[in-house]
Amino acid sequence: MGQQLYFDNFMPAADIVILAVCLVIGVLFATSYTVRTARFGLFINMLIYLFLAAASDMMLHDCYAHITDGNYTPIYVIRVVYHGFMFLTFLLYVVYLVELLLLDKKTRKPIMRVATGIFTFVFITDIILSITGHGFRLSPDGTPTPGINMFMVGYVLFVADIIYIMLRYRKRIYNKALFGMLGTIGVSFIILFMQERHLQSSFTVSSFLFPTIALLYLFHSSPYDIETGSVNISAFKDSVRYYHSKGRDFYFISMYLPSFDSEGKALPENLQALLRQFPAEHFKKAVLYKISYGQMLLMMPERSNPDFDVQIKEAVSAFKDEYDKLHADFKVVIGKSIEEISRRNEYLSFIKDIHRNMEINSFHMVDEKDVTTFNRSEDILKELEDIFKKHDLNDERIIPYCQPVYNIKNGKYDTAEALMRLNLPGLGMVFPDQFIPLAEEHGYIHILTKIILHKTCENIKNLLSEGYEVKRISVNVSMPELRDETFTADIENIISSSNIPTGKVAIEVTESQTDSDYLNVKDMIEKLKGTGIKFYLDDFGTGYSNMERIMKLPFDIIKFDRSLVLASQSDERSEKIVGRLAGMFADLHYSVLYEGVEDETDEKRCIDMYASYLQGYKYSKPIPMDELRNFFSKSA
């Protein structure tokens, strides 16, 4: 033909790379974990259109190089197809943004009308211009004439539209993601500009690929934890959303290792190896998710595991065999997807609620009762949130209870431990084991302490005004509260505003497990001790005792846990150990209080073991605080 091999100085190398990149990404998607969301589907379609665009671009120039009969119709047709795939990619990019931004239908409609309008206008105008001879055309001898470049017009319009959408709704996109998307669009525009300046056309499809790869990296990468072969928590939530949208069921297995559930605690290498191989050995298409430092969750489709009951028995048996080598405490929850929990995407909270009520080193199969318990916990949590928001110290939902304490020295009841119950609409009376862990976990515990302290002070004031002898009533505080800078001020303000002697209130704290908690306790005691408040060390003997720390803290009363009362009755040796511990504290001028005294045998043994105070069902079960009048004596 006497014409150059390709027009526009085109070289196929760039398009070949595009084809290879698209295929490689496809292979990676097929062989690795990726959440199949609606946006992922859009991304795949964009990738397909880019693949077809690169292929049609090569076909266009190849066709041009081999036509010898002067019939250029195939070239015009392929060019239209090529541009169509390119602009369809742009259109899908806009749709992707709309999905990413979670725009409502009313906001979506004008955005999609503009994008569809640009596509239709540019696509049809490009065809018309070629037909009328004002756009791209080939002379009889094959010489190309660009004419009005509608492709660049469309490119600029789409880029402007995309940038406008991102900037207009920028608060809905994480800043770094926004800058990443804008940056890759900027790089692509520069490539296209430099290409036009040098009369090139080889990198056109490449300029579309870069923003697409940005989406892959920013929104579809679920990096594996190399040590365990797991993906992250957000990937799990996306998977639940995907399964629910498709109406598919799945099985899940959660393993919680409490001793490793803190930052810096690495799983042992043998456990990491077990986690890497365990899913593939026992289940099909199973994906492992890392929920926290100490929690892993395995998820697998039901239809790929029809013999799950058999598989799980084998898996549990294998795990038990390995456990003898691991020596790590665990809690394992096993279940099948539940429509109600899937719809709300609340499996993590649901499983945590089950963990909370499980024995250590046990397996639990999920049942309907768990869902009922979880829903109740969620209802309690909503009420706790409302109590926190209202911050009303007289909130009627908090019911002050207490357990009288027997004073051995004077043979009277003159102290008590304040307790609380919740009386919630639709739920009735709720006990501490059902709401205290929730309150601590979600940061609502301090308001509960403030309310029960306020109501305790009011009860003390009323008892004193009626002539009752009240030595003190103790109030429990939670370790997380001590990290609050306002804690001591809150305690002082509530007691002082009640106009009762400060010494009528005591504070019970449990033993600290960390250095920071120990320092918080020490700081709190030092600040409040001078006001006359007494301090109890609660639950002594429950497994975290550190005598050195205890001796450095100026407690007034050491509360021996019920477990020590039980231990002391098991044999003479145990009784001597508990007795000598109590004797040591008594010699150091601490008062010893035994909890969980249930009968006269317990009472006598505890008195022989240096008891100053006794508390338990022998004397009274927990009672509403206003019933203390039945136990306390009036002053003579």
Structural domain contains residue 426: no
For residues 68 and 163, membership in a common domain is answered with yes
> Does some domain include residue 224?
no
H-helix or E-strand spanning residue 73? helix 73-101
Q: What is the mean pLDDT of residues 487-506?
A: 94
- Residue 26's Cα: distance from chain center in Å? 30
Which uninterrupted H or E stretch holds 558?
Answer: strand 557-560
pLDDT at 206 over 50: yes
Pick the closest to residue 402 from 85, 107, 631, 236 (CA basis).
Answer: 631
**Mean confidence (pLDDT) of the chain:** 87
Q: Tell which wins on pLDDT, 361 or 262.
A: 361
The residues pairing with 255 across neighbouring beta strands, listed in sequence order, are 296, 332
Instruction: With cut-offs at 50, 70 and 90, classify the pLDDT of residue 204.
Output: confident
Determine contact, residues 246/240, Cβ cutoff 8 Å: no
> By the 8 A CB rule, do 299 and 250 touch?
yes
Average pLDDT value for residue range 138-147: 74
The CA distances from residue 150 to 63, 155, 578, in Å, are 22, 8, 91
Residues 199, 65: one domain? yes
Name the token pair of 605. Answer: 């043994």
Residues 556 and 514 in one domain: yes
One domain for residues 75 and 31: yes
User: Do residues 450 and 389 lie in contact, with contact meaning Cβ atoms separated by under 8 Å?
Assistant: no
What's the mean pLDDT in 275-290?
84
Q: Would residue 383 count as lying in a domain?
A: no
Q: Sign (positive/negative) of CA torsion 334, 329, 351, 437?
A: positive
Residues 548 and 614 grouped into a single domain? yes
Residue 116 sits in the same domain as residue 84: yes
Whether 149 and 243 map to the same domain: the answer is no
- Round to whole Å and give the CA distance between 28 and 221: 11
Q: How far is CA 283 from CA 29, 299, 312, in A?
A: 20, 9, 9
Q: Report if residue 375 sits inside a domain.
A: no
Same domain, 214 and 178: yes
Cα angle 529-533-536, degrees, rounded to a multiple of 5: 90
Pairing of strands 505-510, 534-540: parallel
What would the two tokens of residue 186 be? 């900027």
Q: And the tokens for 69?
A: 């009969």
Residue range 546-556: average pLDDT?
80
Same domain, yes or no, for 468 and 576? yes
- According to the 3-state scheme, what is the secondary structure of 418-468? EEEEEEECCCEEECHHHHHHHHHHHCCHHHHHHHHHHHHHHHHHHHHHCCE
Count of structural domains within the chain: 3
Residue 2 confidence (pLDDT):
39
Q: Is residue 378 part of a domain?
A: no
| Confidence at 545, pLDDT banded by 50, 70, 90 | low
CATH number, domain of 545, equals: 3.20.20.450
Instruction: Give 410-442 pLDDT, tens digit per residue.
Output: 999 999 999 999 999 999 999 999 999 999 989
214 lies in the same domain as 238: no
Query: Between β-strands 250-256 and 295-301, what pairing exists: parallel, antiparallel or unpaired?
Result: antiparallel
Q: Give 221's pLDDT tier (boundaries 50, 70, 90).
A: low
**What's the pLDDT score for residue 430?**
96
Query: Which CATH number characterizes residue 37's domain?
Result: 1.20.1070.10
Six-digit token string for 325: 């080598």
Structure tokens at 55: 């292929």
Mean pLDDT, residues 284-291: 89
Tell me how far apart the alpha carbons of residues 217 and 205 are, in angstroms, rounded to a whole number. Answer: 19
Q: Judge if 134 and 198 occupy the same domain.
A: yes
Report how far residue 408's alpha carbon sits from residue 414's, in angstroms, rounded to the nearest whole number: 10
Model confidence at 240: pLDDT above 50: yes
Strand ranges (DSSP E) for 190-318? Answer: 250-256, 287-292, 295-301
Is the separation of the CB atoms in 136 and 147 below 8 Å?
yes
Q: Are 266 and 232 in contact (CB under 8 A)?
A: no
342, 335, 329: which is closest to 298 by C-alpha? 335
pLDDT attached to residue 389: 96
Confidence of residue 68 (pLDDT cuts 50, 70, 90): low
User: What radius of gyration do the chain's Cα atoms show?
Assistant: 36
The CA dihedral of 401, 404, 405, 406, to the nearest 10 degrees, is 180
Is residue 88 situated within a structural domain?
yes
Provide the residue range defining the domain that includes 94: 7-219
The backbone torsions φ and ψ at residue 331, rounded to the nearest 5 degrees and listed phi first, read -140, 125
Task: With respect to residue 485, please indicate whether it lies within any of the assigned structural domains.
Answer: yes
635 part of a folded domain: no
What would the mean pLDDT of 53-63 be, rounded to a whole number? 86
Confidence at residue 57, expressed as pLDDT on a 0 to 100 scale: 86
Report strand pairing: 591-594 vs 398-407.
unpaired
CA distances from 431 to 48, 191, 380, 438, 508 (A): 58, 67, 11, 12, 19
Helices 562-570, 572-587: inter-axial angle, 10-degree rounding: 130
Whether 168 and 291 map to the same domain: the answer is: no
Q: What is the pLDDT of residues 581-619, one digit of tens each?
A: 999 999 989 999 999 999 999 999 999 999 999 999 999
Q: What's the whole-number mean pLDDT along residues 530-553?
A: 81
Q: Would you state the pLDDT for residue 176? A: 74
Report strand pairing: 613-614 vs 557-560: unpaired
How open is the CA angle 574-575-576, to the nearest 5 degrees? 90
| Helix, strand and coil in the chain, % to nearest 5 | 60, 15, 25
What are the b/e assignments for 399-433, b being 16+ CB within 10 Å? bbbbbbbbbbeeeebbbbbbbbbbebeeeeebebe
Look at residue 223 and tell me whether its pLDDT is greater than 70: no
C-alpha of 523 from chain center: 32
Residue 3, pLDDT above cutoff 50: no
Q: Is the pLDDT of residue 329 over 90?
A: no
Which residue matches tokens 């929850």?
A: 333
The confidence score (pLDDT) of residue 1 equals 39
At 334, which CATH number?
3.30.70.270
d(CA 429, CA 447): 19
Amino acid 4: pLDDT: 45
